[in-house]
A and B are shown apart, each in its own frame.
Chain A
C-alpha cells in the first residue's frame, strides 16, 4: 500500500478550502510526494497556497486528468456538469474520479463520464481543513473495493474516514457536515449562559470551545458510550445533573435529532433536483 501511495499521481479540479484541507492532509503522512500532486483553478486567486506546498498548478482541467490517476472534483456542485463534459473524453479505465460535490449523485456523475468509469463520492466536513474531518465515501458501480481502500488509506490523515452505501451520505451531511454548525450554535449558547452568570464574553467563548474540544476527544478516544461518560461527570445532587435536567426539560435531545433530520431531508431533496 505504501509504495502504491508514493507512486500515485493525484489531481484536484478546484482550488477552494476543501481541496486545500484535503491536499494538506494527504501530504502530512509523507507518503505522497508534492511532485505527484497537481491542482487546477480558472484563475490564479487560490493557487499560491498550493504552490507553497510545492504542488504543480494549472488552469487546465484536462491537464489534471492527463497527469493524474486519482482526480478529486472539488468544484461547487453547479460547476460539476461543465467540468465533467470538459474532461470526459480524457477519462480512462485507469482513472479514479472522486467527487466532493454536495447533492450530486453517483448516477449523475456516472452519466456524464464514460461507461464503466471508476467513480466515488465523498462527503467531507469543515474540520478537514485542519485534518480533523469526518469523511464518508460511497463507491459507484465502476469502483471496486480496492479503489475504496486506496482512497480510505490516502485520506486517513484528514480525520475519520469511513465507507458506506450512497444513501448514508445524506445522513452524514446532516450529522457531520451541518453538525459542525450545530456545535457552533451550542457553543455560543453555552458561552451566553456563562455571561449571564457573570463571566466576560471572550473568556466564556474560549472556555466553551475548549470544553467542546476536550469532551469531543474523550468521547472519541475513551471507548465509552456517551451516556457512560455523562454519568461519570454527574455527582449525585451536584451541579451537572441540575444543568442536564434543564436541558432535558427543554427537549434538547429531540431538538438535536430534529436538526439532523431536517438537514438530512434537505440533502436528499437537493440530491433529487
Chain B
C-alpha cells in the first residue's frame, strides 16, 4: 500500500513522523507534494525518506490512500487538478477543517462515478503518536476503507469513527485541545517561576503533570471528579488552589473555548459552502505555483474574478 499527501506542511509532516515511527508504513512508500520546496516541513519530510514532488498528479499516481493535507480553501483547486487522475483504487482522505464530504464528492463526481471519500479530524500530537482522530465515511467508501484508515490513524494515537455532524465539535475539543494544553502549561510554568522555579524546570514539571494526569484518567475507570478528590487532601494546598480556579470560572472558560472553536469551524464551513471566496483571500503565491504545474490551466481551476469553488455545473471546467 502506498500513501500520498497533497500538501507537505505541519499536518503531513506530523502524520508521516508518526506513521514511520509506528512502522505502519515505510517512508519510501510515501509521496508528498507541495508547490513550495523551501518549507521546513518539506525538508523534514525529505530527511525521513519521503518522495517529494511539486506535482500533485505524481502523488496521486503513486498512491492508494491519498491524504488531502492542504488548507481548506485550497481543496477545490486541488480536487479540480487531480480529479481526472483519480482511479477506483484511490481512497481520498480529507483532513481539511470544515470541508464536508458531500462538497468533495460533488467535485469528484465530475470525474468518477463512485469516488471513495473519507473525512478525518486529527490533531498535532500524532507526531508523537498520541493523536486524537475521528473519521467519517463517505457515500462510496466501503467498510474495509474505514478499517484501513483506522489502522493507519490508530498507529499514531486514538482513532474512532463518528457521524460527520460531530466533527466540528471534535475540532473544538481535541483539534484545538493541544493549544489549550500548551497555554495551560505555559501559564502553570509562569506560576512556578513566580514561586521561584527556573523556567525550564517549571515547563518540564508542568507538562509532566498534565501528561501524568491524562494517563491516569485514561487508565482509570473513575470519573475525573473522583480523581480530583483523590488529590485534594483536606485543608491542603490543592483544594486551596482549586478554589482559586473555580473562583475564576475555570470550568466555564474551558466550556466556552470548546464552544467557540466549534462555532468558528461551522462558520468557516458555511463560508466555504457559500461557494465564493475572493481571489485576495487566497494566497497569490500558492495559486501561481498551482498554475505552474504541468497540465494545470487557469480555466481548469476556475480562475476568474469571484471564484466559484464548488460549481460543478460549469461545462468550461470539464477536463478532456
Contacts and interface: CB of A to CB of B under 8 A. Distances in A.
Interface of A: 188-189, 192, 195-202, 205
A195 B238 CA distance: 10
A198 B234 contact: yes
A195 B239 contact: yes
A188 B224 CA distance: 13
Contact of A188 (B225, B239, B243): B225
Chain B CB count within 10 A is highest, among A195, A199, A200, for A195
A258 to B, nearest CB: 12
Contacts of A199: 234
A186 B225 CA distance: 13
Interface in B224-246: 225, 229-230, 232, 234-235, 239-240, 242-243, 246
Contact of A196 (B225, B230, B243): B243
Contacts of B225: 188
Q: How large is the interface on B (under 10, 10 to 19, 20 to 34, 35 or more residues)?
A: 10 to 19
A198 B235 contact: yes
Contacts of A198: 234-235
B229 A196 contact: no
Interface of B: 225, 229-230, 232, 234-235, 239-240, 242-243, 246
Nearest to A194: B234
A270 to B, nearest CB: 15
Q: Chain B interface mostly helix, strand, loop or mixed?
A: helix
Nearest to B226: A201
A197 B235 contact: yes
Contacts of B232: 192, 195, 201
A188 B239 CA distance: 13
A20 B157 CA distance: 40
Contacts of B235: 195-198
A97 to B, nearest CB: 30
Given A188-B225, A195-B229, A200 B243 contact: no
A200 B240 CA distance: 14
Contact of B239 (A196, A202, A205): A196
B239 A192 contact: yes
Given A198-B234, A200-B234, 15 more contacts: A188-B225, A189-B246, A192-B239, A192-B246, A195-B229, A195-B234, A196-B234, A196-B235, A196-B243, A198-B235, A199-B234, A201-B230, A201-B234, A202-B229, A205-B229
18 contacts: A188-B225, A189-B246, A192-B239, A192-B246, A195-B232, A195-B235, A196-B234, A196-B239, A197-B234, A197-B235, A198-B234, A198-B235, A199-B234, A200-B234, A201-B229, A201-B230, A201-B234, A205-B229
B230 to A, nearest CB: 8
Contacts of B243: 192, 196
B223 to A, nearest CB: 11
Nearest to B230: A201
Contacts of B246: 189, 192
Contacts of A195: 229, 232, 234-235, 239
A196 B235 CA distance: 4
The CB with the most chain A CB atoms within 10 A, among B230, B232, B240, B246, is that of B232
A103 to B, nearest CB: 17
A161 to B, nearest CB: 32
Contact of B242 (A192, A202, A205): A192
